[in-house]
């Protein structure tokens, strides 16, 4: 048998999914091992191999495809552990990235944080502020050379950067996306001077309008390049040493896997690598379950991530924010907050209010109940105190949780608030659920979508434990918890085909010449397919999705409109304009479209996906036929203001067609599913647990 192996390496755990060519699936999980994350990756695969009853080397010897989602780039950015980076730009524009834009001070902040003016700071630099250098050159908006590139000024800059010990260089010249010739000449000169330098060109990485955003994206890519290359090489060597004979592939934030070499060159493309895997997994599962509109929710140890699938396609972000920098690289839209199982509970000085997150206990030391030295109470500790987790069956019984330690960690909070330990724990869980629910509403309602028309997929190690809590009040009535929910992002990575996204700025007034627009789209399509071909895999077919970004005159942000059919006539262009009006009213409300303002094209995007004919998961046939017999344990409820005996079921013992009414707890090897009193649960034929709210999601 041959296998597909995928590993999602998160901040707390590394999750592994193995799929055989017969469609059978196995999973594994291991604690992440910062800073040597490759060790945790290998151990998660070893855990899956042990479940299969074979050795790690045997599994990797028979693995035809190894795909990986990683947080290494994200961690390096958040902790500012990237390399020493310089920026070369057009002389006179050295301060563009320093000045930024007005919104930089609040970029990425929640509505509550925006009101806290002490948080209105600029982004912490990812470059050495002493080494932003301007080179003599100038290209205008039309791509015409106004001032030739001065190699004399470039030589002077290179001398300084060598002396300073610079490791990576971001090159972002004015209007370089219109004509990249000067950036290309600079890279050749720099690498001839010092081949050890990593050089990132804005015209290749992010050929779009917006001097500040393009420069920030390029600078972050350069800043992360050394750390990412180091990790990828260590991972490649670790896999090779354990018997894997092919090149590993890496999950990109744009949804789809790419070669490890391309990942090394574009670390900025990996910033939401794992969460993108979860969205792609939901898209794959949604096709099986006939759900075209899905809200994806991933609760890990440190964060809560929400994505959206509309008409079976993941929604892309117009721009993503990381550490207050706006990134223009194409990414699946995944909004995140610091709310997860490891989120720390604390009391705010001055107000005396109980707060939860965004600080997290992470993988080390982790929640107090893990027994790894944690001292501060977390959401996981609160769930344990409430009785919602079985302390003897964590990770399938591999690790016993410390209930008394969790209770002791909350004693000081209870004393300060003057309430019981149980009520403190309940408050912690409800606050975390409330933060998560707010993000679910934000992702859907603010984009013009009614959450009641969506199914919600809950995954991540802690997602099923909180799903009933954060869907309450959203109007969502259907919650799907996949059988592989605790490793769902890894499942999504395993189900992802190689993909590439190419985009560029194109400024045209509408209506425009159809042939000119079609030519520009074909050029982008060719560029994306070339990247796909560089992976080296053979594809059954290649799927192409083309989008035109359109906006009304006077607006800054455009909305994507599909242009998958060839554009040949003026009627085809008018159809694009009509489709934009509809898309605008979908997001901003009926009657908001205003064609009289005039329409402009602001950019193009093409996404290509190579179909590898991956094995589909087979229907589970070995379900139990006997009725499930639960054990009863006390769980604390607000509804009863006390403890009530609650049935606990083992997921592995549930029979085909199992259903019950809440309250109930279902425990599996890697997660716990909490079924609230006003929810019903059904086990479908694919072993998904489907929760429905008897009160209509209120």
Nearest Cα to Cα of residue 123 among 323, 338, 358, 319: 323
CB atoms within 10 A of CB 680: 15
The confidence score (pLDDT) of residue 696 equals 55
Full DSSP string of 199-217: EEEHHHH--SS-HHHHHHH
The confidence score (pLDDT) of residue 677 equals 92
The confidence score (pLDDT) of residue 624 equals 64
Round to whole Å and give the CA distance between 513 and 501: 24
Domain boundaries, the chain: 1-70, 78-230, 272-396+424-493+619-698, 499-611
| Predicted TM-score (pTM) above 0.85 | yes
The confidence score (pLDDT) of residue 625 equals 64
Instruction: Pick 1-70's CATH classification: 3.40.50.300, 3.30.9.10, 3.30.70.1230, 3.30.420.40.
Output: 3.30.420.40
Write out the two tokens for 607. 């996404």
Q: Which fold has domain 78-230?
A: Rossmann fold (3.40.50)
CB atoms within 10 A of CB 693: 21
The confidence score (pLDDT) of residue 481 equals 96
CB atoms within 10 A of CB 536: 12
The distance in angstroms from the start CA to the end CA of the chain is: 48
Q: Is the distance from CB of 626 to CB of 609 less than 8 angstroms? A: no
The angle at the Cα of 534, spanning 83 to 287, to the nearest 5 degrees, equals 100
| Structure confidence by residue, pLDDT tens digits, 668-690 | 988 999 999 999 999 998 889 99
Q: For residue 433, what are the contacts with CB-CB under 8 A and spacing of at least 6? A: 466, 469, 470, 472
Query: Look-up: residue for tokens 């009160």?
Result: 695
pLDDT beneath 70, residues of the chain: 110-112, 363, 619-625, 694-698
| Structure confidence by residue, pLDDT tens digits, 8-58 | 998 778 999 999 998 899 999 898 888 899 999 999 999 999 999 999 999
Query: What are the phi and psi torsion angles at 580 (to 5°)?
Result: -65, -45
Q: Is the distance from CB of 415 to CB of 423 less than 8 angstroms? A: no
Nearest Cα to Cα of residue 618 among 483, 490, 480, 488: 483
252: left (phi over 0), alpha (psi -120 to 50) or beta: beta
The confidence score (pLDDT) of residue 467 equals 96
Query: For the range 151-159, what are the long-range contacts, defined as Cβ-Cβ under 8 Å and sequence gap of 24 or more?
Result: 151/189, 153/91, 154/186, 154/189, 157/88, 157/133, 158/189, 158/190, 158/193, 158/194
Tell me the Cα Rg of the chain: 26
Instruction: Pick 499-611's CATH classification: 3.10.530, 1.10.3470, 3.40.50, 3.30.1490.
Output: 3.30.1490
Q: Is the distance from CB of 328 to CB of 217 less than 8 angstroms? A: yes
């Amino acid at each position: 048998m041959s296998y597909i192996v995928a590993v999602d390496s998160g901040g707390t755990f590394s999750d592994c999914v193995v799929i055989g060519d017969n469609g059978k699936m196995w999973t594994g999980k291991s604690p992440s091992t910062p800073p040597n994350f490759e060790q945790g990756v290998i151990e998660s695969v070893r855990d899956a191999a042990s479940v299969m009853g074979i050795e790690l080397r045997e599994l990797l010897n028979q693995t035809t495809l190894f795909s990986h989602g990683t947080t290494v780039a994200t961690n390096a950015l958040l902790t500012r552990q990237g390399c020493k980076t310089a920026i070369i730009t057009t002389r006179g524009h050295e301060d563009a990235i320093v000045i930024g834009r007005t919104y930089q001070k609040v970029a990425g902040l929640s509505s509550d944080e925006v009101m806290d003016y002490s948080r209105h700071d600029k982004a912490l630099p990812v470059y050495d502020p002493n080494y932003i250098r301007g080179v003599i050159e100038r290209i205008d908006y039309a791509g015409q050379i106004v001032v030739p590139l001065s190699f004399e000024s470039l030589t002077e800059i290179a001398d300084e950067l060598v002396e300073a010990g610079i490791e990576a260089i971001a090159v972002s010249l004015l209007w370089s996306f219109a004509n990249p010739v000067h950036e290309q000449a600079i890279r050749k000169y720099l690498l001839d001077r010092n081949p050890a330098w990593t050089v990132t060109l804005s015209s290749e990485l992010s050929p779009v309008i917006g001097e500040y955003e393009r420069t920030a994206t390029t600078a972050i890519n350069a800043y992360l390049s050394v750390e990412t290359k180091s990790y990828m090489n260590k991972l490649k060597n670790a896999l090779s040493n354990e018997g894997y004979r092919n090149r590993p592939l890496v999950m990109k934030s744009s949804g789809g896997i790419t070669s490890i070499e391309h990942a090394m060159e574009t670390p900025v493309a990996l910033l939401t690598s794992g969460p993108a895997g979860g969205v792609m997994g939901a898209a794959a599962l949604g096709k099986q379950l006939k759900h075209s509109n899905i809200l994806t929710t991933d609760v890990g140890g440190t964060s809560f991530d929400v994505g959206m699938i509309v008409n079976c396609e993941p929604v892309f972000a117009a721009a993503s924010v990381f550490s207050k920098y706006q990134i223009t690289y194409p990414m699946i839209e995944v909004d995140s907050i610091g709310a997860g199982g490891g989120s720390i509970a604390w009391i705010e000085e001055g107000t005396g209010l109980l707060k939860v997150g965004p600080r997290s206990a992470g993988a080390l030391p982790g929640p107090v109940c893990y027994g790894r030295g944690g001292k501060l109470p977390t959401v996981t500790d609160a769930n344990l105190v409430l009785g919602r987790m079985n302390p003897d069956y964590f990770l399938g019984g591999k690790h016993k949780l410390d209930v008394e330690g969790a209770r002791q960690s909350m004693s000081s909070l209870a004393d300060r608030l003057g309430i019981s330990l149980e009520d403190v724990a309940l408050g912690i869980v409800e606050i975390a659920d409330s933060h998560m629910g707010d993000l679910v509403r934000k992702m859907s309602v603010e984009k013009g979508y009614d959450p009641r028309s969506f199914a919600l997929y809950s995954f991540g190690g802690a997602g099923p434990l909180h799903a009933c809590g954060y869907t309450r009040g959203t109007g969502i009535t259907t919650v799907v918890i996949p059988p592989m929910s605790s490793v769902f992002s890894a499942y999504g990575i395993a189900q992802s085909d190689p993909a590439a996204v190419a985009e560029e700025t194109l400024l045209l007034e509408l209506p425009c010449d159809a042939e000119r627009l079609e030519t520009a789209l074909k050029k982008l399509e060719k560029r994306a397919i070339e990247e796909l071909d560089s992976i080296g895999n053979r594809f059954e077919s290649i799927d192409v999705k083309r989008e035109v970004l359109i906006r009304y005159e006077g607006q800054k942000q455009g909305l994507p409109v599909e242009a998958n059919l060839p554009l040949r006539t003026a009627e085809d262009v008018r159809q694009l304009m009509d489709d934009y009006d509809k898309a605008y009213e979908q997001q901003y409300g009926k009657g908001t479209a205003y064609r009289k303002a005039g329409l402009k094209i602001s950019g193009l995007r093409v996404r290509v996906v190579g179909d590898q004919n991956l094995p589909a998961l087979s229907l589970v046939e070995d379900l139990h036929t006997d009725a499930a017999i639960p054990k009863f344990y006390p769980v604390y409820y607000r509804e009863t203001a006390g403890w009530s005996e609650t049935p606990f079921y083992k997921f592995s013992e549930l029979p085909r067609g199992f259903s019950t009414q809440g309250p109930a707890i279902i425990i599996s090897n890697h997660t716990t599913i909490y079924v609230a009193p006003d929810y019903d649960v059904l086990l479908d034929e694919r072993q998904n647990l489907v929760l429905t709210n008897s009160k209509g999601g209120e």
